[in-house]
C-alpha cells in the first residue's frame, strides 16, 4: 500500500503519479491494470489475481506493472476502490435517515453480487481510496443533521452498525456461491444430500430447537432475508435514537 517517496515519507498509491505512458508494445495505465484485475477476479475468483496473470491479460511483462504498483496489496486496494466507484452515493440529508441507510445497504449488496470477491476484502481497516472516501463522505453527510443524529459519534455508530450487517450478509451469500461451485450442489441439493444424516441426528431428541427450526422454519428468499435483517437493524437504531 505504501512506497517510500525517497525522503523517508511513505506515499500511498493514490498519491503517487503514474509514469509516462508508452504507446508500445502495449499501453498501460493504472485504470487499465485495475480493469483487467477486476475482470480476472470476476471470472476466476480473488485467488486467481496476481500481477503475472494481470500482465498476461494486458499482453505486457509483469515487471512493467511494477512501474504503476509496488505490491499486489496496492492492486487489491485499487480494485476495491473501483467497486466503490460503482456504488451510487446517498443523497444529501433530507431527514429520511432510514431511506439513506437502506439505499446504501442495497447498492453495496448489488455491487458485491456483481463482484463476489469484493466482500472478501471488506471488514478490516478501510482502504481510503478516493472513491471510498467519497462514498463515506456522502454516507455521513446523509445522516448528519437528520432527526436524532445530533453529533458525529451517533452518525458513526449508526453507519458502522449497518455496514457490519451488510458485510456479514454479503459474505454469507458469497460463501454460499463459492460452496455451490466447489461442490457442484446448490443449496437445495446440498440439503437433500445431508437430509438423512440430519434426520438421524434430530431423531436422538438432543436437538429439539434445531428440529423445530428445520421442520417448521420456512425457506427465505435471499432478497427477503436481506431486507428483513436490515429492517431489524434499522429498527434497533431507531429505538436507540428514541432513548
Q: Which residues of 189-211 are buried (b: 16+ CB within 10 A; e: fewer)?
A: eeeeeeeeeeeeebeeeeeeeeb
When the pLDDT of each residue in the chain is averaged and rounded to a whole number, the result is 88
Q: At 56, is the pLDDT very low, low, confident or very high (cuts 50, 70, 90)?
A: very high
Across the range 118-125, mean pLDDT stands at 86
Per-residue model confidence (pLDDT) at position 25: 66
CB within 8 A of 98, min separation 6: which ones?
234, 238
Q: At 143, is the pLDDT very low, low, confident or very high (cuts 50, 70, 90)?
A: very high
Per-residue model confidence (pLDDT) at position 24: 59
What is the H or E stretch that residue 3 is in? strand 2-4
Across the range 140-167, mean pLDDT stands at 93
Per-residue model confidence (pLDDT) at position 62: 86
- For residues 4 and 59, the model is more confident at 59
Q: How far apart are CA 238 and CA 232, in angstroms?
A: 10
Among 28, 111, 35, 100, CA closest to 63: 28
Which of 41-55, 63-77, 180-194 shows the lowest per-residue confidence on average (mean pLDDT)? Answer: 180-194
The residue with cell 434497533 is 236
- For residues 20 and 233, the model is more confident at 233
Q: At 158, is the pLDDT very low, low, confident or very high (cuts 50, 70, 90)?
A: very high
Q: At 8, is the pLDDT very low, low, confident or very high (cuts 50, 70, 90)?
A: low
- CA quadruple 195, 200, 203, 207: dihedral positive or negative? negative
- For residues 19 and 205, the model is more confident at 205
Across the range 57-63, mean pLDDT stands at 90
Per-residue model confidence (pLDDT) at position 191: 80
The string of pLDDT tens digits covering residues 70-94 is: 899 999 999 999 999 999 998 766 7
Per-residue model confidence (pLDDT) at position 6: 53
DSSP string, 40-86: HHHHH-GGG--HHHHHHHTT--HHHHTTT-SSHHHHHHHHHHHHHTT
Q: How far apart are CA 189 and CA 211, in angstroms?
A: 19
Contact between residue 140 and residue 159 where contact means Cβ atoms under 8 Å apart: yes
Residue 10 in this model has a pLDDT that exceeds 60: no
Taking CA atoms, 73 is separated from 3, 6, 77, 131, in Å, by 12, 20, 6, 17
Residue 15 in this model has a pLDDT that exceeds 90: no
Across the range 137-142, mean pLDDT stands at 93
Amino acid at each position: 500500500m505504501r512506497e517510500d517517496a525517497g525522503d523517508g515519507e511513505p506515499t500511498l498509491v493514490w498519491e503517487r503519479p503514474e509514469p509516462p505512458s508508452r504507446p508500445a508494445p502495449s499501453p498501460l495505465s493504472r485504470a487499465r491494470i485495475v480493469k483487467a484485475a477486476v475482470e480476472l477476479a470476476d471470472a476466476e475468483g480473488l485467488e486467481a489475481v496476481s500481477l503475472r496473470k494481470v500482465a498476461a491479460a494486458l499482453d505486457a511483462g509483469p515487471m512493467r506493472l511494477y512501474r504503476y504498483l509496488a505490491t499486489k496489496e496496492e492492486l487489491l486496494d485499487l480494485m476495491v476502490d473501483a467497486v466503490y466507484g460503482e456504488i451510487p452515493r446517498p443523497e444529501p440529508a433530507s431527514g429520511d435517515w432510514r431511506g439513506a441507510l437502506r439505499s446504501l445497504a442495497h447498492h453495496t449488496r448489488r455491487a458485491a453480487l456483481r463482484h463476489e470477491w469484493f466482500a472478501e476484502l471488506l471488514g478490516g481497516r478501510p482502504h481510503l481510496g478516493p472513491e471510498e472516501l467519497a462514498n463515506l463522505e456522502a454516507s455521513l453527510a446523509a445522516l448528519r443533521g437528520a432527526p436524532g443524529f445530533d453529533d458525529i459519534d451517533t452518525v458513526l455508530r449508526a453507519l458502522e452498525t449497518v455496514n457490519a450487517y451488510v458485510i456479514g450478509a454479503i459474505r454469507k451469500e458469497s460463501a454460499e456461491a463459492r460452496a455451490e461451485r466447489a461442490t457442484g450442489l446448490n443449496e437445495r441439493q446440498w440439503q437433500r444430500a445431508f437430509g438423512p444424516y440430519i434426520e438421524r441426528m434430530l431423531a436422538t431428541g438432543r436437538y429439539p430447537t434445531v428440529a423445530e427450526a428445520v421442520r417448521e422454519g420456512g425457506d427465505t428468499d435471499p432478497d427477503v432475508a436481506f431486507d428483513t435483517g436490515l429492517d431489524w437493524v434499522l429498527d434497533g437504531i431507531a429505538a436507540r435514537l428514541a432513548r
